[in-house]
């Protein structure tokens, strides 16, 4: 009864290298379908799951790892006499390492609304193995991301329970995110429990105040400021992002050409006009003092005329659907201004599952506007 590692991955980047490393460390490699074929074709000695379990894949591959020899081998508690006795009775060997990544539901959801294709890209066996291994992290190492192969190889001889616990929590986060994508894509509004997919984009320089830290997340299935393109200026701060969100929410509400000016999350001017320059001048006239150092939003394209007027005053950020090339040249001459191009979207009246209000340790979900391209 040797050491065993189960490798079953959709994203096969570096899988051969990692499997070869584990094999050199004395692990028998168990694998499935196309992963197993890739490893075998590259000289890895592979035992296919259907050979191991003596049970063929069923239903077009929907059932292959859902078997007691797989999940029993992952889940049974080492050192527990009853578990050890059951494992011996049913000839279940321990599986010590589980390397799994999931069917590409997110990529599919971004590409299509075809229900049948989406359903076929919902992984079942993968999340089950990740969760089994994560639950038994005291004995099992679970690796859920390709980018973690290197760290595992570098630290392999010093991996302890705390390391396995950290990787277990990564796996639980991965399956929670995966399930939330499914809920979001199919808009299961009848569910009382919310599943909201939030992908980490970046760590911000600091939070609301310099002594605080902050991170930026996005819902990959919704369009918002996380999809904006920064054309000029230094990195956005936490407070910049909050203000840009207020600006974005306002400018998409107007069918006519509009300009809004926001400072500290509060509008200090908003107007419609016959063109972008007219709208800007009217918005500025509402409160030109408070507008100093604020953020401008334009639901159109910034032209040369408007760029010249904006460059005559100090603003932190200009947000617009587009910028003319000559206008960009003018505005980029100002070192400290940030220029943000946002996607042109329009509001659609319907309840949003992801427009939430943050409370201390809680969330409120108002029925507000969501957006469509």
Whole-angstrom Cα Rg for the chain: 27
**Exposed / middle / buried, residue 47 (Cβ in 10 Å: 0-12, 13-18, 19+):** middle
Q: Residues 233, 337: contact at Cβ < 8 Å? A: yes
Residue 61's contacts (CB-CB under 8 Å, 6 or more residues apart) are: 33
| Residue in 194, 212, 192 with CA at minimum distance from that of residue 203 | 212
Write the CA distances from 69 to 49, 169, 351, integer angstroms. Answer: 9, 24, 46
Annotated catalytic residue within 138, 187, 264, 367: 264
Residue 256's contacts (CB-CB under 8 Å, 6 or more residues apart) are: 272, 273
Backbone angles phi, psi at 359, to 5 degrees: -115, 180
Residue 166's contacts (CB-CB under 8 Å, 6 or more residues apart) are: none
Q: Residues 308, 333: contact at Cβ < 8 Å? A: no
Annotated catalytic residue within 3, 40, 83, 135: 135
Is residue 37 part of the annotated active site? The answer reads no
What's the CA gap between 259 and 320, in Å, rounded?
9
Q: Could you tell me the two tokens for 33?
A: 């379908």
> Is residue 324 classed as helix, strand or coil in its secondary structure?
coil
Is residue 135 part of the annotated active site? The answer reads yes
> Is residue 358 classed as helix, strand or coil in its secondary structure?
strand
Phi-psi region of 63 (alpha: psi -120 to 50; beta: other; left: phi over 0): beta
Q: Which residues are catalytic?
A: 135, 264
């Amino acid at each position: 009864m040797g050491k065993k590692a189960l490798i079953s991955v959709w994203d096969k980047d570096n899988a051969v290298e990692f499997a070869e490393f584990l094999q050199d460390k004395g692990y028998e490699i168990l694998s499935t379908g196309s992963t197993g074929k890739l490893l075998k074709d590259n000289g890895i000695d592979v035992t296919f799951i259907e050979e191991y379990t003596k049970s063929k894949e069923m239903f077009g591959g929907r059932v292959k790892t859902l078997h007691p020899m797989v999940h029993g081998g992952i889940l049974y508690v080492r050192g527990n006499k009853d578990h050890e006795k059951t494992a011996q009775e049913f000839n279940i060997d321990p599986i010590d390492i589980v390397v799994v990544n999931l069917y590409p539901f997110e990529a599919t959801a971004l590409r299509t609304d075809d229900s049948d294709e989406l359903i076929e890209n919902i992984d079942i066996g993968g999340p089950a193995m990740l969760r089994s291994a994560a639950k038994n992290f005291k004995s099992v190492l679970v690796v859920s991301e390709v980018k973690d192969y290197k760290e595992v190889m570098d630290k392999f001889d010093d991996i302890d329970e705390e390391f396995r616990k950290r990787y277990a929590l990564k796996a639980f986060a991965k399956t929670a995110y995966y399930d939330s994508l499914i809920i979001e894509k199919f808009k299961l509004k009848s569910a009382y429990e919310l599943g909201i997919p939030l992908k980490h984009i970046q760590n911000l320089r600091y939070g609301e105040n310099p002594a605080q830290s902050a991170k930026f997340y996005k819902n990959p299935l919704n369009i918002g400021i996380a999809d904006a393109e920064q054309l000029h200026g230094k990195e956005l701060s936490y407070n910049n992002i909050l203000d840009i969100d207020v600006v974005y929410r306002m400018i998409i509400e107007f069918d006519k050409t509009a300009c809004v000016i926001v400072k500290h999350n509060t509008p200090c001017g908003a107007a419609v006009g016959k063109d972008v320059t007219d709208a800007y001048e009217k918005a500025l006239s509402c409160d030109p003092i408070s507008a100093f150092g604020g953020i401008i939003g334009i639901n159109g394209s910034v032209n040369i005329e408007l760029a010249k007027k904006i460059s005559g005053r100090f603003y932190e950020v200009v947000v617009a659907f587009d910028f003319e090339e000559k206008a960009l040249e003018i505005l980029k001459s100002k070192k400290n201004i940030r220029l943000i191009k946002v996607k042109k979207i329009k509001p659609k009246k319907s309840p949003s599952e992801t427009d939430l209000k943050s409370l201390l340790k809680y969330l409120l979900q108002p029925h507000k506007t969501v957006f469509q391209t």
